[in-house]
Chains A and B, each alone.
Chain A
Amino acid sequence: MGTKKVVSETSGAVFSLPWFVAKDQGFFAEEGIDMEFVDSLSVHVDQPVADPEKVDPILGHTPFEDNQVAIYRA
C-alpha cells in the first residue's frame, strides 16, 4: 500500500488532540497516511468588535482557504 500525504490544519489542542495522538501513535501511518500539520493562525484585534458583520468569518483558517491544507476541525 502506498503512502498518501495529507496536510491538516490544527487549531487548539483540545480540538486536535485525537489527531495529534493518532500521528504520534502511528495510527495514521498504519492507514497509509503521511499526516502533516499546519497550525491555524491566531486571531487578534487591536480593539474589540461588537458587530459580527465586521469580522471575517474565515478567522484563522486561512491555510484551508488558501488550499494549503485539505482538512481542518472546529
Chain B
Amino acid sequence: MVRAESDHYYPSSLANRPIAVQFHAGSHYTALRLIEGYIPVEKIKLLHYGSPRYRFEALMSGEVDAAMLMEPWIALAEKNGCRSVCEGHYLGAENASDNMDEETFAAINRAVIKAVDLINSDKKRFLHYLIDQPKFAVIADEWGGLTPDDFHLPRLRYTHPMPYTDEQVEDTYNWMVRWGLLNASVCANDFVDNRPAEPTAADD
C-alpha cells in the first residue's frame, strides 16, 4: 500500500525506496515474491517494522514509501486514501507442536471446516471479529474507524485445511534458499511434518 499523495502507482517506482514489512513473516516473503518481478534484488529495500500496526503507522507518517499490510489494515488504509500497487495471497497454515495427536488435530480441523463454510456463506456477518480486535480497534479509531462496508470481500479467502503438496514444499524451500532465508544444507523434510488432514466432510 502507498499513501494517497504518493507518486507510486506500480511496483517499479519503489526501487531503492523503503518498504515496511515484518521480517520472517508473510509480509516479508510476499513482498519479495511480488516485487522481485519488477525490481532488481539489490534495489529492493525492505525494512522490518514489526506487527501490522507499526507498518501502517510508518506508512501514514511518511517514514516509508510503502507498507505490506493485510486485512483489516488494508481496508483502513484504503479508507484513508491509500492505494495498492500490487497484491498477493499466500497460504496460511496451522503449526502444531509434536504432542498434538492425530485424533485431536482431526477434530480441530472438522470444527474449522464448519466455521470456514459458515464464514463463506456470509463474510460480512463475521467482519466484526476483524474490526473489534483490540490491537486494531484502538488505531482504527484514530483513523476514522471501519465498518463492514469498507471491506472488499473477495480479498478474504477461507478454505478447508489441507496439507501442502510436496511440490509446494520443494518449490518454497528452493525459493527461500535462493533468498538466503534458509540454510541450504538442511533438507526441507527436516522442517515439515506434512500430516494429512482427515478427509471428512464438514456435515458428517
Could you list which residues of chain A lie within 8 angstroms of chain B, going by C-beta atoms? 4, 6, 12-15, 17-22, 25, 27-28, 30-33, 35, 42-45, 48-50, 52, 55, 57, 59-60, 64, 67, 69-74
Contact = CB atoms under 8 A, between A and B. Distances in A.
B108 to A, nearest CB: 6
B51 to A, nearest CB: 4
B53 interface: yes
A14 B51 contact: no
Contacts of B2: none
8 contacts: A18-B119, A22-B114, A25-B114, A25-B118, A27-B112, A44-B51, A69-B97, A73-B95
Interface of A is mostly: mixed
Interface stretch (B4-12, B42-50, B80-88): B42-50
Interface residues of B, number: 53
**Leading 3 A-B pairs by shortest Cβ distance:** A43-B50, A27-B111, A57-B24
Contacts of A6: 104, 108
Given A27-B115, A45-B50, A49-B47, A21 B126 contact: yes
Contacts of B28: 52
Given A21-B126, A28-B108, A12 B133 contact: yes
Contacts of A33: 104, 107-108, 111
Interface of B is mostly: mixed
A71 B158 contact: no
B94 A71 contact: yes
Given A55-B23, A55-B48, A60-B51, A20 B95 contact: no
A71 B94 CA distance: 7
Nearest to B72: A14
Contacts of B97: 64, 67, 69-71
The interface centre, meaning the residue of B107, B110, B158, B180 with most chain A CB atoms within 10 A of its CB, is B107
A4 B111 CA distance: 14
Contacts of B15: none
B92 A15 contact: yes
A14 B156 contact: yes
